[in-house]
Structure 1
């Protein structure tokens, strides 16, 4: 059941709508671990990287020299946010997977300068981060209604507020974490929630030199390796498991058949892992790999086609000067 209540009294223009059942994250984790670690080959979804430690590690990753996506997306926003705002004429910005909303300021500034901005709706599963960012931005944009929504974009799209002329932003290349079928379902589901005049702003990483791609997910300082292993720390803590994270090697490889990076954890020896919270044991053989993330890299023509197949019309296709990353504005 959805619960709506005010955030902090000091910021009366901020509200929180919570669509997350109190037991939802735990149930999802139990389901994913049980299914993923019973599969052949084994896998875990990347959303479980992001506890407090994982979020801090990812923040460090975005500042690494090898990790270009954040810098390239910011470069596009700095150069084109005004044009995107003018094309969308949005009065409400809805941001899926908003996190700390750091890049969002460029879009909000552009919409405010265009004179259309009336509301901002950040959407994330982490309530604390969500409210912190919402209050910060409410202070920056007095008079703008900030309505934070705690929700999972893979489950709650139909429940998002539909106030005003909306631009729904899905930034950071997160679309690449979804496999083709899940991507198609997500895009179709999002399209079904949009009305004439609404737009969709998608950040997507592009195919490029394989060496650069692998380096972005296997940095020399080992931050990404620690981020990858963090999923095992999460399972240990939340499900009373006895993984030894240091017994797993970080692996990043490029699958050129599917145009995607895969991150994996490779067992360095035979081992049995007990997950007490699920009453299950999982056997690993030396050298066995468990996939923890996919990150698809798109070819522009294929990305346009995927959007067209799910009911969108591409209005703008902007890239950085190196053609490393793209921001696509689409309408319905």
Structure 2
């Protein structure tokens, strides 16, 4: 088992500067990466098990059935998972691959969090001792060229993570990925599809309020870093489907006029009643949207695997 670290060291001053600049912007924003402190990660794990949050319930069985169809494509290849996280989804996928094929695979988990890579690599090595694992700590948006190209590669990008990117970012990512892919390299891309708006909005406005707590927790993360005096209860969780951009947007809306202070800031951060902080996007796709991303990467769509309701898709693309 090998783990390579390509992440630049980001100091606390850089994190503080990013947060302050985003909160002073117009409109105010906070990058969704700041959701995932320890509490935020636990809350998100709870969200994935909520009745209203449909994506994992559809994607997991879809991963199983798709792996059975694609298992021969994985023989003698490097399996690269972008944004691998806790390795739960690749485990579902690999469970369906015969051991004699897994023996021929080198698995490359790619994630920005070194601890996540180390933990998942150890867990996977215990689960699949016959498989070689080569972890890479990197931001796949900026370090895609760091992934070795010794053999044919099978890229996986699960969970509709691409939906968290803006359209410009997603197209740039697909272009960059296509540029480093070689002939016969493949991509299996997970995307959440456009469906009844009520179903989509309920997934981000659960009855127990867990998603609201998750969204508001980002203010506690900001308090920890820049010593602000945000009170999460002074904000309302808002999540709605923006038809123009085909995406769920999550915001935090101020209940009243507010002035946020910090010993690190000379001026207060001012909110007017109803003003929001935009915290996350989650784009939903159509088949045309999938084809548009494939075109940006110079890839051909070979298959689109769906659940029965066509709520979620795994698109198989190949570099010709």
Give the alignment's TM-score, normalised by structure 1: 0.90
1:155 has 2:142 as partner:
yes
Q: Are 1:52 and 2:38 an aligned pair?
A: yes
> Structure 2: which 5+ residue stretches go unaligned?
none
* RMSD of aligned residue pairs (Cα, Å): 1.8
Partner of 2:252: 265
Work out whether 1:61 is the aligned partner of 2:50.
no
Determine whether 1:82 maps to 2:74: no
Matched residue, 2:211: 224
Asked if the contact 1:85/1:107 (under 8 Å) is kept, the reply is no
Partner of 1:176: 163
Distance 2:45 2:236 in 1: 21
Q: Matches of 2:162 and 2:292 in 1, distance apart?
A: 15
Residues 171 and 245 of structure 1: CA distance in aligned 2, closer, same or farther (over 3 Å): same
Q: Give me the whole-angstrom Cα distance separating, in 2, the residues matched to 1:260 and 1:138.
A: 37
Match in the other structure for 1:130: 117
SS of the residue aligned with 2:3?
strand
The alpha-carbon deviation at position 88 of structure 1 amounts to 5.1
Deviations 1:143-181 (A, max 9, x none): 322111111122211112223221111110111111111
Aligned residue number for residue 4 of structure 1: none
**1:230 alignment partner, SS class:** helix
**Deviating more after overlay: 170-179 vs 119-128:** 119-128
Task: Tell me the residue number matched to 1:246.
Answer: 233
Structure 1 position 40 matched with structure 2 position 22: no
Aligned partners of 2:202 and 2:209: how far apart in 1?
A: 11
Distance 1:295 1:150, change over 3 A: same
8 Å CA contact retained: 1:90, 1:198: no
Q: Which residue of 2 aligns with 1:204?
A: 191
Shift of 1:182: 0.6
Contact kept in structure 1, 2:82 and 2:140, CA below 8 Å:
yes
> Residues 124 and 299 (structure 1 numbering): CA distance in 2 closer, same or farther, change over 3 Å?
same
Task: Provide, for residues 290-316 of structure 1, a one-character-per-residue CA deviation record: whole Å limited to 9, x for no partner.
Answer: 110011100112211221133111111
Aligned residue pairs, count? 318
Residues 88 and 199 in structure 1, CA contact (< 8 A), matched pair in contact too:
no
Q: Which residue matches 2:94? A: 108
The runs of at least 4 consecutive aligned structure 1 residues that moved more than 6 Å come to none
Deviation at 1:107, TM superposition (A): 2.3
Q: 5+ residue gaps in structure 1?
A: 1-13
Is 1:190–2:190 an aligned residue pair? no
SS at structure 1 position matched to 2:24: coil
Question: Counterpart of 1:305?
Answer: 292
CA pair 73-143 structure 1, distance change in 2 beyond 3 A: same
After superposition, give the CA deviation of every residue in 1:32-89 in whole Å (9 maximum; x if it has no partner): 3233222211111211111121111111101000000111111211222121233454
1:328 is matched with 315
Using a 3 Å threshold, how does the CA distance of structure 1 residues 16 and 309 change in structure 2: closer, same or farther?
Answer: closer
When residues 268 and 192 of structure 1 are mapped into structure 2, their CA distance, relative to the original with a 3 A threshold, is same
Taking the aligned partners of 1:111 and 1:304, their CA distance within structure 2 comes to 28
Are 1:94 and 2:80 an aligned pair? yes
